[in-house]
Structure 1
Amino acid sequence: MGVGCIVSLPLLAQDATVTLGKQFAAASPLEWDVQEASHPKLGKIRFAYLKNLVETPVGNAKVYSRAYVSCDPTRRKIAIELTNTTSPDDPGGLRPKTLPRLVCSRLATPNDTTPIKEELLAPRWEVSKIGDVLAHSLTAFPLRECVSIEVLEDVELPKGWAQPSAAVTFEITPYNKQLDEIFASCGEVSAYAQPATAVAKAPAPGKAAPPAKAAAPAKAPPPAPPKQVAQAPVPASTPPATTPAPATTPPPPPPPSPAPAPATKAAPSDGWQQARAVATGRTNVRAGPTLQSGLVVQLDPGMPVLAQKAEADWWRVRTTLGGKPIEGYVRQDRLVFK
């Protein structure tokens, strides 16, 4: 399978993820806003936060929950922070009974259009003194594979409440417009960016005209040489006339001498390393080094590949599936190098 074939394969898959992610975001009752602030642990960050609190009834009382999704622009890492309180203006917090769980809903197969596959994300959580939980140093692109992320919490309640703990559940939608800003500030391609390809096509016709004019003057010089050849037979100086012709032949050898062609062929073989897909979940191989590129195939956990460094956090990979060669791009976080 050639690279050209790979690019023309399923662009629909990524389009389906983005389209479905936007639908989930539009249907969500939760509203987000974006701000910049200095975090005691993360430093200066740009973050999105829930404008409307998630309210969980417990008898006659309620648990009020909020989520923050931020980006550390220097390290290009995502952080998710969850807080729970007994009132909207409570400066304290409720501690988790168990650590939160994040469940990613994503397309089950490249050409599927239903997020029937759920995967449990496994971030490392830190609990503050007042009970807030923080997961940081998350890579953005696996989160953008999710059309929605379900947050499952179990928080301890104060003494005297109707029950000792409460289950809190809500969804984070990565393709919400405000959350999209956070992912874009961490290096991901915005799902709301407007392509401007039409401007690049306009200059093309303008460039076609100059070559046509350049061809006209080139025809004027050729008539002159034929006249000299016609006069040459009279003084029997034909042999000298033929000798200049071979004198002009040496220039062709220099063009073949720039034989960097072999060098370019050798270049692709350089830098290839043995690697394998990570052991957690299936790994997406894309047609280009961006999350917006079409999905070529999914690699099984631990599948061996050859990898060559591409741009940013992407690696070009080669392998075979069912006897057919596969080539595409994989993010570095989804590879383990031998």
Structure 2
Amino acid sequence: MSSEVPPASEVCREYFGTTDSWGCVEVMTAMNKQYRSQMTFGDKTCDTSLFPYQTPDHLETPIPTPAEIALARNEASMLTTSMLTSTTWRVGPYVVKVGKSVDMFHEAENLIYLERNTNVRAPKLYAAFASEEVDPLPDVHLEGKGKLFYYVVMEYIDGQYIGAIDEELKGNGLVQNKLGELLGEQLRKLRSVPPEDSNHFGRVNGRAFGQIPPFYHPPGPDFDDYGPFNYEEVVKRLIHSAQVDKALGLTPNDYSPMFRLLHRDAKFVFLDMTGPSDRLPVLSHMNLDPHSIMAKLVRDEEGKAVDVEEVVIVDWKFLCWMPSWYEAGDMCRVSFAPVHFYNGLGHHALDRMGHVNMTLVAFFAMCVEKGAFFLVHL
């Protein structure tokens, strides 16, 4: 059955207690601050038995100390800075991600899970630990308090982000298609991992989702509720969060006609048009943007790309169990892209990532394309 969508102002008034845009932002900021204040090292955040972690494998180069990591930062260029929460740079044969929030260990726990339970090609985790020994980022403001820094030491991938080579590969159909196929194969391996629990939608090891865009704005009275959910709960939460988030950006204006049409039918499509296999959780990366996918290209003597050796997905902080149509819908959305490189990538990845219900996938892709649902990445 279709559901009518209330006016955006009504949604804001009910959730934030006001329709004033700045008032809504102030309430949201207070809620986020409350949630972040509870992010401490404990079983609710991660599997504490894993940390501090160091690989049991023999390493030719010892794991760098915090002082060595700080020194290397002065000699290396930043690789990434993520949402003001972490910064990454190369230290010898390693890549080190540094931040001030305990949720840095989310990615470390996820990489351990992938290594133990899948054959997905992801960066190998070598170490994860916390230290107050030095301040490796005296000139960078990161979210978090105190002198404690969290370090995640990973394999350095000798490749290129696809966002850095998309222009170069224009017109190179052979390499473009191979990239999409290899990406799809990695996603198929990820999605083929048997669920921990057929009714668990959340992070690995039975934990709740983190505070990520698809699940922002938990409905009261528990404004810190990020799951874990069952299938019906995760669908209703995705719909609720999208309506609140969109209303926040619109007030005092209203939803667009397209937003209303898509949300009118969302529950019907995702709840009434699903079979048992559509309701099973699949492992999902959640952040497949051009700077989370790396390619090792094969080049000829003139430097032209002629083949793809491998595709490696990086940035695994948001790994979780999601409905099968969610990440497939993201790939379908990419196939709508006006840039040929990306629509080809989406087509070939979607074709290789395993069986999906295209009715659900196409509907979700249209919802995201039209701004009716939100992903972790833009």
- Structure 1 length normalisation: TM-score? 0.23
- Structure 2 length normalisation: TM-score? 0.21
RCO (CA 8 Å, sep 6+): is it higher in 1 or 2? 2
- Higher radius of gyration, 1 or 2: 1
Tell me which protein shows more strand as a share of its residues: 1
